[in-house]
Structure formats: structure tokens, C-alpha cells
A = this chain, B = another copy of it.
Amino acid sequence: MITARDVAQALGVSVSTVGRALANDSRISSQTRARVHEAASRLGYIENAAARVMGGARSRLIGLMLPDIRNDFYAQIAEAFSTICGLEGYQLVFSISNERDVELRHVRELIGVRAAGIVIVPTSAPRRETASLLRGQPHVQLLRRLPASTSAWFGVNDEGCVREATSFLLSLGHRRIAYIGGPLALSTGQARLAGFRNAFSGKAARGQAIEVLGPPSVEFGREAAHRLMNRKTRPTALMLGSVQGTRGALEALDELGIAVPQDLSVVGFGDASGFGWWRSGLTTLRFPIVDLATSCAVWFLNALKQGGPIAYEGQSTVSARLVERGSTARISA
């Protein structure tokens, strides 16, 4: 492995000159700087990140903690961060943390590699230590937000989006509307449920709201939909409150052979690829996740470069667009 010392010796200069030249320090003459760069690339010098950190420099690692990478929501986030981090010379340390002990371990490991910052979609109930460790690190929360946390957060307007989508169903004449959403332990679960409820209370339109909450998983969505459609009085419309839950619910509706939208109108959550192919197309909430993640990444890396403590008031939300397709219709008399 070629070190800065090798480059220095090859040029008959000191290591500090090499270090400074490579960092484009203004104190080095442009002549020397050029010679150093040339020699470094000729010799195949690759900077040792560990030594850099040991020397006191900030690491160029950014921790990215997501609950699931096969969920298109999170895949989009990973892609956006990868792009921006690559542009800015940062590397992503990626982990899937869907369980609080795993989450804690990963936060510890990120601190261990002296990550410059951590981007996290928290689990539903992180360990106390996780929160306290995080407090000592530059970090930003994505989508979900810890209740007690005052740190920066980028997410979607969960309440407003679900409220609008539910209002849309109400405006189609539906009164018995079911909602399958995430647990209250998740900030998103809470906000989305609130949106669902607020849609009812807002209008003159009275209606019967049926709520089923549980983990945002395919399996739970499937079970919940089965349960709902086995009630003596079925709902006439179904509002979904999670991407994976939507997948599961669609599976269930297929299994049960429910006619959509004749017997049930359905509004999905998120516009994962394939949702448009379901039956005559799934009406759904489409979120500009890439935009969200990109602005989060740009903001965060910029805050990191400022060096100081990151502004903890940072907070930003985006809203969804309701994509109307064949799974919703005016209620049949």
C-alpha cells in the first residue's frame, strides 16, 4: 500500500507537504501541489481513511438505517442518498434495522466507525440508549419521528394525505369506510390514523369508521383485510395506511374474490411499482419520496460540512398526490 510517506520520498518533500497538497491547502505552491498530485496518482496512492480519522479528520461515512430495503419507499431513499453522498465524497454505511436491539447495535457500530452522521428511520420503540447515543451524534430522522426527539426530521404530511384520500372516498358517497394502518407506536401510524379520523369529523358527512391497526407488514395487511371482509356488514371502501399493508390487502382481496370497485373501493398507500397493474389499477397516494430524500440528503451533508452542531429545528414535509385509477368508484346504491 502506497502511503503519503512514499509519495513524499518519491518527491523529496515532507509528509506534511504531501498531506496539504492533497487537501489542496492554499499554503502549498501550485507547482508543488501539481507535482504531488501527479506523483500520487502515478504511484496509485489511496488515502487511508482510518489514518485520516486517527489524525483527527472527520470521517466520510454516513450511516443509513432503514427498516426494509425491499419496500420501494426505502429503496428510493437509499438510491437518493447513494447519489448525493457519492457526489459529495461520502460513503454510505447501510443497515436494515427493523428491531430495536438490532437498531441499537447498529447505532453503536456507526459510532464505532466514527460516522460523520446518521440518517435513520427509527423503529417503533427504540431503546432508551439508542436515543441517548443518537443525541450525541449529528443525525436526522426520516419519515418516522421519535416522540421525545427534537432533532431534525424529514417526512411526509401523513395526516393531511390520509385525510384527503379519505375525504375523497367520502365524497364518492362511501359511509362505511375501513382503515388498515400502522401501529400507534409509530409516529406515522398515529398521524395517518388522525388523518383518517379527521376526514370524518370535518365534513357534515357522518360515517362509520372501522379501524384496524398493526405492524406495517404484508402479512398483517392481508390478515386485516380478511378480517374486515368477514364482518357481517362489510365496509364499502378501504383506505390503506402503509405500503406493505397495501400489498397484503390486495392479496387478500384477490384471495376472497372481492369485486373492486363494485363491492369495495380501495385506496392504496404509496405508488409502488405494480400497483397500477392491479385489476383495473389501484387508486393510491403517491409520495415524492425521491424529492424528500434528496432534499434531506443535501441539507444534511451541508449541515455536516458546516462542522458545527446541526440545526435541530430542521423539519420538512412533502405531500402526496392522489392518483385516481380503477379501484375507486361512486358507491352503488
Interface residues of A (CB under 8 A from B): 46-51, 53-54, 59, 61, 64, 68-70, 72, 75-76, 78-79, 82-83, 86, 91-96, 102, 105-106, 108-114, 247, 250, 272-275, 277-279
Given contacts A46-B112, A48-B112, A274-B274, contact A82 B95 (CB under 8 A): yes
Among B53, B64, B82, B106, which residue has its beta carbon within 8 angstroms of that of A50? B53
Smallest CB gap from A79: residue in B: B69
B91 with A92: CB separation less than 8 A: no
Q: Which of B51, B102, B112, B247 contacts A86 (CB 8 A)?
A: B102
Chain B, Cβ-Cβ closest to A95 = B82
Number of copies: 2
Q: Is the CB–CB distance between A54 and B46 below 8 Å?
A: no
* A275 to B277 CA separation, bound complex (whole angstroms): 8
Given A54-B50, A78-B69, verify A113-B83 contact (CB < 8 Å): no
**Cross-chain contact B49 with A112 (CB below 8 angstroms):** yes
- Whether the pair B94, A78 counts as a contact (CB closer than 8 A) is yes
Distance in Å: Cβ of A93 to nearest Cβ of chain B? 5
Nearest chain-B residue to A254 (Cβ)? B277
Contact of B46 with A111 in the complex, beta carbons under 8 Å: yes
Chain B residue at smallest Cβ distance from A72: B70
**B83 near A91 (CB under 8 angstroms)?**
no
Beta-carbon contact of B109 and A91 below 8 Å: yes
Nearest Cβ distance between residue A292 and chain B, in whole angstroms? 15
Neighbour of A46 across the interface among B79, B102, B108, CB < 8 A: B108
Residues of B contacting A247 in the complex (Cβ-Cβ under 8 angstroms):
273
Pair A94/B75 contact, Cβ less than 8 Å: no
Task: With a 10 A CB-CB cut-off, give which of A64, A76, A108, A273 has the most chain B CB atoms.
Answer: A273
Question: Are A94 and B82 CB-contacts (below 8 A) given A50-B50, A274-B273, A277-B274?
Answer: yes
Give chain B residues whose Cβ lies under 8 Å from the Cβ of A113. 49-50, 61, 91
Report the separation of the CA atoms of residues A54 and B250 in the bound assembly, to the nearest whole angstrom: 53
Tell me how far the C-beta of A277 lies from the nearest C-beta in chain B, rounded to whole angstroms. 4
Distance, CA A82 to CA B108, complexed state (A): 16
Q: Using Cβ atoms and an 8 Å threshold, which residues of chain B touch A272?
A: 273-274
Contact A70 B76 (CB under 8 A): yes
Q: Give bound CA distance, A92 to B115, whole Å.
A: 13
